[in-house]
Every structure is written in structure tokens, then in C-alpha cells.
């Protein structure tokens, strides 16, 4: 069986961004040929909403939009940004609130504002009964504090681009309605994620690329794309000592369960 006969969902990819303006159609075709049946598109700020919506209108059975304010986009004008995003949220169906969270890697200047924005968007997700796609970089404890402040038992979602330790997983594992997103990092040499993954139930993972970022080996350093998720699936299968077919099947169902998406392909007998 080849990957083209399998079903995989890339739960986090930015193929609407300018990095793909010259060959977006080719990238989408390559993804479909590789067995990718759907992609989830995380928003960044008010400026990316139109690009996401346009792509979703062009590929309605393949692309599924999220909406939210990325923590790196939280600046002095965050109130205006939140108003624009909330207005857009009311105009069409979105499948998650994201990409939201806290990022303290580059700058801690707007930590207070990031927390305010994150908690407000968590409340949106509760009100609309939508999952959240959470970005944390050097900020897991701060993000968890916000989640518990708002109401952990009323939230569901994914910690996107998980690259953490067993200790970090232990904290996330207590949130029974949350998954972790596994991307190209798991293939990197000297990265501890592969070892950590062996302690995490496969029922709690999703696959993602975060394209154009974090391409897996052997494409590391190049622009990432959804088709490369097959390399991540191979490595995850190795970690679980199972087949890539089984990982594809498990993560596909996990993705459907979390994002509540209906695909035309789900009745196909491909497994």
C-alpha cells in the first residue's frame, strides 16, 4: 500500500501564505497525491483572514479554516485586531479558534496582553463549541494557567507543534480533551520528541506540518509542504513500533473527532 491510497489530515499548515503564491496549486496537487485528504489552516491576524477564506472557497472539500489572533501578533493594537477577528468569525463557518496562545521566545513585552487575548479567545471557543489550536513557545505553564482560569473542563483542542519533554506531556495529559500536534521536529537528529512520544497514547496525537516551517528530514532547511507529512508519519510509526498505515488511520480519526469535519472520502474502503 502506498500513501496515495491512505488518508491523512494535515491539522496545521499555512499554505495560504505568500511563500506558496507561485505554486500553490502544485503544492495542493502533490498533497492530494500523497494521501492528504484535508488540511486545517490556522489564522495569524486580521491581515491573513482574506487569504485563508479565498483558498477555502477555491478548495472547499480540502481546506478547512481556523480563525484567531496569533500571540506574536499581539501588539499595542490588539483590541482593534480582536474586534476585526471577532467580526470575521461571525461571517462564515470556522472549524477551530487558532492559532492562539502565548509566545515568550522572542519577546516578553506583551505578556499581559497575550494572556488577555488568549483567555478571551478561549471563551470564544467555549461559546461557539469549537476546538482551539494552541501555540506555546517557552510558555506552557503560562498557557495552562490561562486554560484553567477560563475552565479546562469546557475546552478541547490541540497543542500545536509539540516538541516537549515527558514532564510537559504530563501536564498536558491532565487535559483529557486535548491532543498534541506532531510535526517534522520528531524527525530531527538529537531531538528528544521521539523518545517522549513513546510515553504518549496514540489516541492523543495529531499529525501536522506547520508548512512552510519545520520541514522533516530529509527536507530539513527547505520550505515545508503538506506532502512531507508522510515522513513524519513514518517516524511516528517507528516510535510506536507499528505501521504507517496504522498511524495514518488513528490520527485521521483523531482529527475528524476534534475538528468535527465531514469529508467525502471517509466512506472509501482504503484501509
Task: For 39-62, write each residue's pLDDT tens digit.
Answer: 999 999 999 999 999 999 999 999
User: Omega into 212 within 30° of 0, i.e. cis?
Assistant: yes
Per-residue pLDDT, 265: 67
- Phi first, then psi, for residue 159 (nearest 5°) are -85, 100
Confidence (pLDDT) at 6: 84
Residue pair 55/23 in contact (Cβ under 8 Å)? The answer is no
- The three-point CA angle 155-79-142 to 5° equals 45
Secondary structure of residue 132 in the 3-state scheme: strand
pTM value is 0.95
| Three-state DSSP class for residue 182 | strand
pLDDT of residue 264: 76
Count other Cβ atoms within 10 Å, centred on residue 143: 26
Q: What are phi and psi of 145, to 5 degrees?
A: -60, -45
Would you state the pLDDT for residue 2?
44
List the grid coordinates of 175: 487535559
Residues 6+ apart with CB under 8 A from 94: 65, 66, 67, 130
Please give the pLDDT value at position 148.
Answer: 98
State how far the Cα of 143 lies from the Cα of 127, in Å rounded to an integer: 19
Q: Which residues of the chain have pLDDT under 70?
A: 1-5, 265-271
Q: Write the Ramachandran bin of 241: left for phi over 0, alpha for psi from -120 to 50, otherwise beta.
A: left
H helices within 111-228, ranges in order? 111-128, 140-150, 166-173, 193-197
**Cell for 243?**
505501521
Amino acid at each position: 500500500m502506498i500513501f496515495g491510497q491512505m488518508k491523512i489530515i494535515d491539522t496545521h499548515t499555512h499554505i495560504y501564505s505568500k511563500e506558496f503564491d507561485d505554486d500553490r496549486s502544485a503544492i495542493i496537487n502533490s498533497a492530494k497525491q500523497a494521501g492528504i485528504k484535508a488540511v486545517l489552516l490556522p489564522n495569524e491576524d486580521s491581515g491573513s483572514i482574506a487569504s485563508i477564506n479565498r483558498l477555502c472557497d477555491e478548495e472547499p472539500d480540502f481546506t478547512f479554516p481556523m480563525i484567531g489572533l496569533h500571540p506574536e501578533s499581539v501588539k499595542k493594537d490588539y483590541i482593534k485586531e480582536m474586534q476585526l477577528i471577532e467580526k470575521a468569525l461571525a461571517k462564515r463557518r470556522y472549524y477551530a479558534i487558532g492559532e492562539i496562545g502565548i509566545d515568550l521566545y522572542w519577546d516578553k513585552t506583551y505578556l499581559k496582553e497575550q494572556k488577555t487575548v488568549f483567555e478571551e479567545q478561549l471563551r470564544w471557543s467555549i461559546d461557539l463549541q469549537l476546538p482551539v489550536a494552541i501555540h506555546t513557545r517557552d510558555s506552557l505553564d503560562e498557557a495552562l494557567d490561562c486554560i484553567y482560569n477560563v475552565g479546562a473542563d469546557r475546552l478541547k483542542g490541540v497543542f500545536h507543534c509539540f516538541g516537549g519533554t515527558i514532564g510537559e506531556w504530563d501536564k498536558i495529559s491532565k487535559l483529557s480533551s486535548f491532543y498534541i500536534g506532531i510535526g517534522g521536529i520528531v524527525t530531527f537528529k538529537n531531538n528528544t520528541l521521539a523518545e517522549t512520544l513513546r510515553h504518549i497514547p496514540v489516541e492523543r496525537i495529531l499529525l501536522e506540518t506547520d508548512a512552510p516551517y519545520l520541514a522533516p528530514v530529509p527536507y530539513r532547511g527547505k520550505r515545508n509542504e503538506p506532502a512531507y507529512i508522510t515522513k513524519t508519519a513514518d517516524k511516528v510509526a517507528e516510535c510506536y513500533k507499528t505501521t504507517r498505515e496504522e498511524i495514518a488511520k488513528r490520527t485521521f480519526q483523531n482529527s475528524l473527532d476534534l475538528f468535527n469535519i465531514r469529508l467525502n472520502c471517509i466512506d472509501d474502503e482504503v484501509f
